Amino acid sequence: MDDSTAEPKILQDIPTVFFSFETKMPFERCMECEEYLLDGKEYMIEKVMRRYEGFSASDTIIDYALCISCAMKLRE
Ligand SMILES: [Zn+2]
């Protein structure tokens, strides 16, 4: 057995809950700089949802994706 040939696991599958509410697709570009995100870059998705007590429905209030460098800038 030789484990060294095992390919690193890349988390490419994005849970549908993190898809864009608007397009129902994964975010493709950074909201700030419009850099393309889906070619293996690290990026973050922010999503704020509101749930209503007693209802299964929920509203998406905010959702966007940011590349790591824009996310860092916004945190400064
Ligand atoms: Zn960016």
pLDDT digits (tens, 9 = 90+) for 25-71: 999 999 999 999 999 889 999 999 999 999 988 899 999 999 999 99
Q: Which of 35, 25, 13 is nearest to 63 (CA)?
A: 25
Reported as half-sphere exposure (CB side, CA atoms, 13 A), residue 59 has a value of 5
Relative to beta strand 58-67, strand 43-51 is antiparallel
**pTM for this one?**
0.69
C-alpha 43 to ligand 1 mean position (Å): 9
**Confidence class of residue 22 from pLDDT cuts 50, 70 and 90?**
confident
List residues, by chain if needed, whose CB lies under 5 Å from ion ligand 1.
Answer: 30, 32-33, 35, 67, 70
C-alpha 6 to ligand 1 mean position (Å): 32
